[in-house]
Amino acid sequence: MQPWISFITLGVDHLERAVAFYRDGLGLPTKGIVGTEFEHGAVAFFDMQPGLKLALWGRDSLAADTGLPVAPSPATGFALAHNVRSETEVDRTLEQASQAGGRIVKPGGKTFWGGYAGYFQDLDGYLWEVAWNPAIPLDE
């Protein structure tokens, strides 16, 4: 298998609410909800870096497509990480998530690995780490 991820899909309880959190609260670009003409088709895509999209899909639709039962999200079984350019940007991003309705799980602080990081959960409980890592500088 070639190591390439094109989509990260999160199953959400309320698609419109989740779209508002990511689009309006966090400022991620999207064309909005598409596929509403299909049963279990309503989905929203958010442009991330080139070659990667974040997809929000109803948890019941994801369950129907996979054949698995609907299950709650495992809060500590998975985390998305968002690296930023400074400690200040970590705090600013966590505040932005909080203002959008996210829950701060761990405020920004010094890490054991020499960086600075904190965590928030989105409206469906998905865990996001916001980190500044001095060993991995980001391109401008």
pLDDT band at 140 (very low <50, low <70, confident <90, very high): low
| Mean local confidence (pLDDT), 48-73 | 90
pTM here?
0.86
Q: What CATH number matches the domain at 7-65, 3.30.930.10, 3.40.50.2000, 3.10.180.10, 3.60.21.10?
A: 3.10.180.10
Residue 100 to residue 1: CA distance in whole angstroms: 38
Q: What CATH number matches the domain at 79-132, 1.10.10.10, 3.30.420.40, 3.20.20.70, 3.10.180.10?
A: 3.10.180.10
| Mean local confidence (pLDDT), 64-88 | 87
| Mean local confidence (pLDDT), 100-125 | 96
pLDDT band at 137 (very low <50, low <70, confident <90, very high): confident
| Mean local confidence (pLDDT), 73-93 | 89
User: How does pLDDT run across 13-25, given as a tens digit for each residue?
Assistant: 999 999 999 999 9
What SS3 state is found at 39? coil
How would you label 27-56 residue by residue, b for 16+ Cβ within 10 Å and e otherwise?
ebebeebeeeeeeeebbbbbeeeeeebbbb
Q: Look over the chain and give the mean of its residue pLDDT values, rounded to a whole number.
A: 92
